[in-house]
Copies of this chain bind each other. A is one copy, B any other.
Amino acid sequence: MTNVVQSKSTDRKVEILDAALTLFVKKGFHRTSIQDIADAAGITKGGLYHYLKSKEEILFSLHERFISEGFEKLKLIEEESLLPEEKLVKLLEAHLEIIHDYKDAITIFYKEYNNLSPENYKIVLKKRDDYEDIFVNALEEGRINGVFNIENSRITSFFILGASNFMYHWYNPNGEKPLDELARIYLNMIKHGILNE
């Protein structure tokens, strides 16, 4: 899946990014200094610049890392030949798993993306749109088939993603509800709503 052999440099870079992510989550992008990151990564400020050429690049790399991996995951599901309902379920399960795995990265994504350079901002937003489009397309397919009783696939997509994304504000991986249990509850509400009929 991932490269087993990585150069020392790559390791070092990953360490720096991990350290940065932790700090960004705790203190925010601007309140975290390059010095802080260097300290946390066990490197000097000057040394850090051998791996990453600016603070913005750190932020961008963090975005990239999470959004690319997430997109790849969904893409694989999209390409499977599944019924709309099954596809939506699998997409959503994957999405919740991504939220679980990349809680920190998602947190800073929603808070700090406007600190990206205009060029990187565009790249990231494009990927986010592609990500969302996978949901929109799955919903649209089901809407046309008559499986989903929805008016507008995009609005529905935002509805579902919104409900899911909000989880990063409150979801505690060590809390009482395991993720698959939550996924079941969420799916149920999405499919049938909350009203007893």
Interface positions of A (Cβ within 8 A of B) = 27-31, 85, 110-112, 114-115, 139, 146-152, 155-156, 158-167, 169-170, 177, 182, 185-186, 189-197
Contacts and interface: CB of A to CB of B under 8 A. Distances in A.
A189 B193 contact: yes
Contact of A166 (B115, B146, B152, B162): B162
A64 to B, nearest CB: 20
A147 B85 contact: no
What's the number of copies of this chain in the assembled complex? 4
B190 A193 contact: yes
Nearest to A151: B185
Nearest to A27: B114
A190 B182 contact: no
A160 to B, nearest CB: 7
Contacts of A30: 28-31
Contacts of A196: 146-149
Nearest to A25: B114
B158 A160 contact: no
A148 B195 contact: yes
Closest CB pairs A-B (n = 9): A162-B166, A30-B30, A193-B193, A163-B163, A192-B193, A149-B196, A162-B163, A191-B195, A191-B193
